Structure 1
Amino acid sequence: MSDSVSDSKLLITGASGTVGGAILAVMRRRGVPVRALVRNAATLPGHPLVDIVEGDYDDPRSLDAATAGMEAVFVLTTPGSPAPRHDRALVRAARSAGVTRLVKLSATSAGARGPDGRIVGSWHRAAEDAVTASGLSWTILRAPSFASNFLRWADLIDRGLPIPNMTGSGRQGVIDPRDVAAVAAACLLTGVGAGRTITLTGPEPLSVPDQVACLARVLGREITTVDVPPDRARARMRSAGMDAPAVEAVVAGAAWAREGGNARVTEEVRSILGRPAGTFERWARDHRAAFQRGGG
């Protein structure tokens, strides 16, 4: 371990994922040493400024080792089944290690009420509660649909097949995950947003068809969508191996978004970063190669 890495005081969880990886990129550009928590170190390229540690949210000793000596932790948990136990485990370890600041990535659906009256995103809200009740300084960052979600459809687009749409014409404040990462980095480094629940969005509400039209323009090819009713979505997710609670969480969130529950747009990115949030079109142009035939 280099001297600079040994001086790291920031722990980034979910470091091999979309937002966690983007936070690492921000810190590398700024020359800030960090510790990165992943399940498998082989999934993350090595870097002189990044101390890669392996851990498991169900292994308390690994969390104790990961949080040891840290001052601030980016909290990102993505369990296969919606449950806040991983957040609680990480908070316990952070508190025991003397961590002073937590920055938690959550979702705009946390605690929202769906069209049928049921609470949407209840596990997100419970996970938030674990952070806000920690006794540590905290910031909650709620984000809607990520622009990068479209990368999962790259193969369908390449094959000329329609993109499945669970949210109909419902618009969402689609955000570039790089903006979420930049805000998270600011919160970790400066403490901005302490004690606040901050909703981050892109500059305009977009439906899936809106995003498809934009991506079609950027790629110069036709892209279509196909509406996926809740029952068909359930069947597909169950056949893919998702457990029942996770399936129902996704279906409930999609119904909420379909009815316009996620159409909110905020100026929080501009307020914190001093610049506007990036557009979906900018994200699409920056990631054009991923949708090209033979692209990654």
Structure 2
Amino acid sequence: MVLMILVTGATGTIGSDVVRRLAARGEKVRALTRDPDRAPLPPGVEAARGHPRDLGAVASAMAGADAAFLVGVFGPEDADSDRGMAAAARAAGVRRLVKLSAISAGDPRTGLGGIAHGHGERAVRESGLEWVILRPSAFASNTLRWAQALRSGEPVPNMLGSGRQGVVDPRDVAEIAVAALAGPGHAGRTYTLTGPETLSPRDQAATLGEVLGRRVELRDLTPPQTRELLVASGWSEEAAEGMLRSVRFVAEGGNAVVTGDVAEVLGRPARTYREWAEDHQGAFGGDGG
């Protein structure tokens, strides 16, 4: 049976890969995006204009869908977007919701994003629909933020100290999202998705340096320096303070977690950070693609 699956956050790191994988399976895919004319969608994917905060657009996009992938938290102003999307899905007769959450969601020590994800998870669980929740750890792709500093020959700012995380390849997260959206056996499950080991920023820098064949240096930031950097980048004071709480949580070991959920769902080991770096070295000026 071919399903109609709505993907919100369809041009983001996970959403765009979910769209590609579903389309390759032959599923009908509708992609919710703020700018359909510029969205790089695969052939045959239906584009729907809107944002998870725009409940009218969400309601229209949900019409006729069998399942929906919810990417609802982008900042403090989006804290209730999951609840709105879940209500729209129920009204439209959607059968299954898969929510992209975050590791340690709901723990107040994780900051505003973690708290908002906790509210979103509750909305999905209370929706009356089939639900699956994905709680990924830090994405390997987060180190793409290092590319500009590396190209400039500058140390990479490190706000996490020596905090270790079960860094996960976003391709594994997308693959599991597709299985949860289009396959059986996942309803009512909450998967905590990590890589096979915990890594500190210096571990990642050392691995990336080996892959690129050059040293990757880090510059440790104090909390005031982190706040200054965030605000200079356009963050509000409230959002920056929330991020500092999350940074402290990670630095103190709160995300030093490894699970076997990726292997359980995919039937193979989780990809390592080294595998991700080797496949993306071109983004850092290396020889790969």
- Fold shared, TM-score > 0.5 on shorter chain: yes
* Matched residue, 1:197: 190
CA contact (8 A) 2:8 2:33 kept: yes
Equivalent in 214, 219, 230 of residue 237 of structure 1 = 230
C-alpha displacement of 1:26 = 1.4
* Matched residue, 1:181: 174
Name the amino acid aligned to 2:236.
Answer: D
Normalising by structure 2, we get a TM-score of 0.93
C-alpha displacement of 1:29 = 2.6
The count of corresponding residues between Structure 1 and Structure 2 is 288
Q: Within 2, Cα distance between the matches of 1:215 and 1:208?
A: 10
* Matched residue, 1:160: 153
**CA root-mean-square deviation:** 2.1
* Matched residue, 1:138: 131
2:142 is the counterpart of 1:149? yes
Deviates more, 1:233-242 or 1:170-179: 233-242
Q: 1:253 to 1:43 in 2, by over 3 A?
A: farther
CA contact (8 A) 1:120 1:252 kept: no
CA contact (8 A) 2:73 2:113 kept: no
C-alpha displacement of 1:77 = 1.8
2:260 is the counterpart of 1:275? no
CA deviations over 1:149-192 (Å, ceiling 9, x no partner): 01122111111111111111111000000000000000001143
CA contact (8 A) 1:176 1:280 kept: yes
CA contact (8 A) 2:33 2:49 kept: yes
**Structure 2 stretches lacking a partner, 5+ long:** none
C-alpha displacement of 1:246 = 2.1
* Matched residue, 2:27: 32
Name the amino acid aligned to 2:140.
Answer: A
* Matched residue, 1:3: none
CA contact (8 A) 1:148 1:177 kept: yes
Deviating beyond 6 angstroms after TM superposition, the runs of 4 or more aligned structure 1 residues are 293-296
* Matched residue, 2:55: 60
2:207 is the counterpart of 1:214? yes
Alignment of 1:255-274 (within 5 A): 255-274=248-267
Q: 1:11 to 1:120 in 2, by over 3 A?
A: closer
* Matched residue, 2:45: 50
2:162 is the counterpart of 1:169? yes
C-alpha displacement of 1:86 = 1.1
Query: How many percent of aligned residue pairs carry the same amino acid?
Result: 46
**Structure 1 stretches lacking a partner, 5+ long:** 1-6
Name the amino acid aligned to 1:215.
Answer: L
Name the SS of the counterpart of 2:99 in structure 1: strand
Name the amino acid aligned to 1:142.
Answer: R
Name the SS of the counterpart of 1:263 in structure 2: coil
Name the amino acid aligned to 2:94.
Answer: V
Q: 1:44 to 1:97 in 2, by over 3 A?
A: same
C-alpha displacement of 1:56 = 2.5
Q: Within 1, Cα distance between the matches of 2:113 and 2:58?
A: 29
